[in-house]
Structure 1
Amino acid sequence: MSSAASGNVAKIFDISTDNSGNVKITPTGEGITSFSVSYGHGTGASASAVVAPGWSTSHIYPEGSYTVTIVSSDIAGQKTTATYPLVVTYRAPENVTISTSGEMKVSATALYAKSFLVYYGDVANEVGKPMAIGQELPAHTYPATGGPFILKVVALSGGVATSQLLKTLFGLPLDFESPTMDYFFGTFGNVTFSKVANPNATGLNTSATVGKYTKPNGADSWSGTYSPLNIPINFAHGNKIKVWVYNPDPANIGKKLNVELEKVVGLPDKPANPYGAILKVPFTTSGAWEELVFDFSTIPAIPANAKFTQLVLRFDDGNSGAGEILYVDNIRLTN
């Protein structure tokens, strides 16, 4: 009985690059009738497979190093055994994004991520909270200090490689002193708002930086600013908002600053102020910092546990701009 010598036994590893751990194994050889592939991982029936010539088998591997054993059988019944090293390395996740809702419900996405760890940044020695792909974590309540806090999301590859993204979160108080925080105050109706040096660092307010609100000539009567807050204004922590203000022009005495609260957690965005959460308090002086108090407990329709995720400032509401300039600082929530 003649025999056919087997030769050129080789292996082909097609290793996925999507962190699935999937490896396609295609044995090759001349004069082979079948291959028995032992993956070097797994137990029982899942640890090996018989493969016909020209066919492949696939196996899911965790990250690591393995030895794949291929036994080739030829038409004469002879067997040849060969071993091949296999290294599976997962790539670091890419394009990490973080989403937060009004109640600080956190979700994230990333290419090639298997899962995430979330660090809220409000406690020492924090242990990351696991989060699955597509999951949104329940609401997280931050301390009444308002931040800023650094939210960190670590994207896990399923192996050693990780990627992370940081997001600065803030609520009240706002003091304009952090060099890294983006004190975003969007504007509407042609007013402007910017972070500037304190124009009168004496008396009540000796801080270095403050917010500057300018209502140019002809600015719309309904103009103002808005600041989305990552950490909601939570009336469980108090219902008075206090603001330090500086008015350089005596002509502005008696004109009012509006503080308006919008985007109630758990309710649609509109109406913007479903509880009529708008208060107006006049300037009483010029040339010196003073404190204006906006007592939202005077609006009985607002529930005691209401949470708002947008702060709106408007000045001299109902009148067109006359070139007014004012400064604000230390916007905070108190009892």
Structure 2
Amino acid sequence: MKKIHFIISFFVLTILMGCASDNSDIDLDGIASPENISALTTVTQDNSGKVTFLPKGEGATQYKVDFGDGSAVSEYISPGATVTHAYTEGVYTAKIIAMGLNGETTEANQQVVVSFKAPENLIVVVTNDLSVSKKVTVKASADYALFYDVYFGEAGKPDPISANNGESVSYTYQNAGVYTVRVVSKSAAIATTEYTTEVTAKLVLNPTSAAPTPPNRQAGDVISIYGSKYNNVAGINYFPDWGQAGQGSSWTEFDLNGDKMLNYIKLSYQGIALADGTSIDVSGMEYLHMDVWTADLQKIETSLINVGPSEKPVTKDLTANQWTSIDIPISAFTSQGLSVDKIFQLKLVGTPWAGGTVFIDNIYFYKTAAQSVQLPLDFESASLTYAWGGFGDAGFGPIPVSVVVNPDKTGANTSNKVVKIEKTSGAQVWAGASLNLENTIDFTKGTTVKVNVWSPKVGADILYKMEVSTSPKDGNGNPTVFFEAHATTTTANAWQVLTFDLTTAPNFSTANKYDRVILFPDFGQMGTGSIYYFDDIKQSN
């Protein structure tokens, strides 16, 4: 272990190390080396060749610059400081050397073009950010140039922002509108080259990312009105209008790369109505949930309407340009005297009235589960549904998976219910079954998982995998945050407990919110029609 033993003042120690001891042994092994090292290089426009380096990076406490022309390397400089060096005309490869707190260094090469010709063939590309309102990015490049200045043209912001030639620089305006952007490309020559254009700083008026994915729940713990996670109540009208077209209000279903959501435009009041003559009883639920995105509404008022009709509102603040997840206690409605046993409509009102647009996803009522599908799993509950899904048969469809009566109540497992996975003849080497958990795994309970396994053969590789189901997907649609652990059966036609040490699995991290269990029987081998049983999936220390 690498350590530095030193005496340091209480004040500095508190800031740097979060420790109140005056005599400290600091373990530096866990400190990462500096990253993303570069330097802004500027040059004076006087034919002197004086180039100034402003090193940048993450985790660096000091920098040196090897100028790349055979001269001596600079002394160390602090973050935010600069160093200047005079070059003769030419193209050089400088080296930025960044040192971290633990003495580890990271190097990055930086091309330095020193030319006494004015920049030529200036090309400027201006783009609007698709996800951040009023954000504009400029990228400029020119022959013989070392860097460029951008004047973004907003009142009260006269100073330019500099960037290396060929790199990008971004700016977020305070207000949407049209601005004059001036780009000044510079070399070591006295003359500069300029480009001026008008740009429009635009509001982003729709979400560019999906709403948060709701958690897994048992069917009896949720009543879904809209969304793709749960089964929605049938026959719902998401745009009864109620005469609001005269306010300019309208509706559509917005499709964000296949993810659909409700879109109420110029929201005065709009609503959602169940099929004629139908209603839902939400008195057994605890909350109404919805995810709302807006660029211009300050508040949304939500009313439940019970048969009568009788309605009561609850108002929630919204945060512009991001998803606001709203959970309204059902008691917030019932405390106003509203019965919620026959809800047939929901009403939505915007603030300001008819002055903004909302996108809404994941509208559902829910309650806290009395029991949940979570580790440990023993499959004995009569009230829970263990929705295992098989995959990987010969045609890439599902292989048979079910919760069944234990066929062999002897030895290591005398419980009543177990999971049966049939690896059908010709099934893929990666055939298996998965189960979504309703609560993510809590690693304070242990980083070892034990599984009771009944295998028809000795030497079967049992692969235990967990995924974060909401993580970004790979090219095959599988979550990219996961770990895999292996164990091998040593007994045939009998129960045995296999142990999986998760800390030895590549990519495993206790910081990840794993919410899916996947079992692969006889991994790596084609299916032969064999049947495997699993039970008692639990953690241990």
Measured against the shorter chain, the TM-score band is 0.5 to 0.7
1:159 counterpart (297, 322, 337) = 337
Q: What's the secondary structure of 1:226's corresponding residue?
A: strand
Does 2:405 correspond to 1:197? yes
CA distance in 2, matches of 1:176, 1:161: 37
Cα deviations across residues 93-125 of structure 1 (Å, max 9, x unaligned)? 7376x9xxxxxx993599537579xxxxxxxxx
Q: Give the AA of the match of 1:299.
A: A
CA distance in 2, matches of 1:243, 1:332: 7
The match for 1:170 is 373
The match for 1:261 is 466
Percent of aligned pairs with the same amino acid? 31
**Kept in 2: contact 1:193–1:212 (CA 8 A):** yes
Q: Give the AA of the match of 2:460.
A: K
Does 2:489 correspond to 1:283? yes
Which aligned pairs between 1:26-41 and structure 2 lie closer than 5 A? none
CA distance in 2, matches of 1:177, 1:132: 44
CA distance in 2, matches of 1:115, 1:198: 52
Q: What's the secondary structure of 1:162's corresponding residue?
A: coil
CA distance in 1, matches of 2:332, 2:494: 50
The match for 1:295 is 501
2:385 counterpart (182, 185, 190) = 182
Q: What's the secondary structure of 2:503's corresponding residue?
A: helix
The match for 1:41 is none
Closer/same/farther in 2, CA of residues 284 and 165 from structure 1, 3 Å limit: same
Does 2:531 correspond to 1:328? no
Does 2:519 correspond to 1:313? yes
What is the TM-score normalised by the length of structure 1? Answer: 0.53
Following TM superposition, by how much is the alpha carbon of 1:136 offset from its aligned partner in structure 2, in angstroms? 3.6
Higher relative contact order (CA 8 A, sep 6+): 1
Extract unaligned runs of 5+ from structure 2. 1-277, 291-301, 306-310, 319-323, 342-364, 394-398
Closer/same/farther in 2, CA of residues 159 and 272 from structure 1, 3 Å limit: same
CA distance in 1, matches of 2:416, 2:330: 32
Following TM superposition, by how much is the alpha carbon of 1:225 offset from its aligned partner in structure 2, in angstroms? 0.8
**Kept in 1: contact 2:472–2:480 (CA 8 A):** no
Following TM superposition, by how much is the alpha carbon of 1:193 offset from its aligned partner in structure 2, in angstroms? 0.9
Following TM superposition, by how much is the alpha carbon of 1:284 offset from its aligned partner in structure 2, in angstroms? 0.7
Aligned CA RMSD, in angstroms, stands at 3.9
Q: What's the secondary structure of 1:196's corresponding residue?
A: strand
The match for 1:235 is 443
Closer/same/farther in 2, CA of residues 135 and 156 from structure 1, 3 Å limit: farther
Q: Give the AA of the match of 1:179.
A: A
Closer/same/farther in 2, CA of residues 228 and 192 from structure 1, 3 Å limit: same
The match for 2:145 is none
CA distance in 2, matches of 1:115, 1:334: 48
Following TM superposition, by how much is the alpha carbon of 1:288 offset from its aligned partner in structure 2, in angstroms? 2.1
Q: Give the AA of the match of 2:382.
A: P
CA distance in 2, matches of 1:261, 1:110: 40
Does 2:276 correspond to 1:94? no
Cα deviations across residues 31-51 of structure 1 (Å, max 9, x unaligned)? xxxxxxxxxxxxxxxxxxxxx
Q: How many residues align?
A: 209
Closer/same/farther in 2, CA of residues 160 and 110 from structure 1, 3 Å limit: closer
CA distance in 2, matches of 1:180, 1:155: 29
Q: What's the secondary structure of 1:231's corresponding residue?
A: coil
Q: What's the secondary structure of 1:221's corresponding residue?
A: coil
Cα deviations across residues 59-94 of structure 1 (Å, max 9, x unaligned)? xxxxxxxxxxxxxxxxxxxxxxxxxxxxxxxxx973
**Kept in 2: contact 1:93–1:111 (CA 8 A):** no
The match for 1:85 is none
**Kept in 2: contact 1:245–1:290 (CA 8 A):** yes
Following TM superposition, by how much is the alpha carbon of 1:286 offset from its aligned partner in structure 2, in angstroms? 1.7
CA distance in 1, matches of 2:502, 2:420: 24
Q: What's the secondary structure of 1:290's corresponding residue?
A: strand
Following TM superposition, by how much is the alpha carbon of 1:204 offset from its aligned partner in structure 2, in angstroms? 1.6
CA distance in 2, matches of 1:237, 1:171: 13
Following TM superposition, by how much is the alpha carbon of 1:238 offset from its aligned partner in structure 2, in angstroms? 1.7
Q: Give the AA of the match of 2:376.
A: P
Q: Give the AA of the match of 1:196.
A: V
CA distance in 1, matches of 2:373, 2:330: 17
**Kept in 1: contact 2:304–2:333 (CA 8 A):** no
**Kept in 2: contact 1:154–1:165 (CA 8 A):** no
Q: Give the AA of the match of 1:291.
A: V
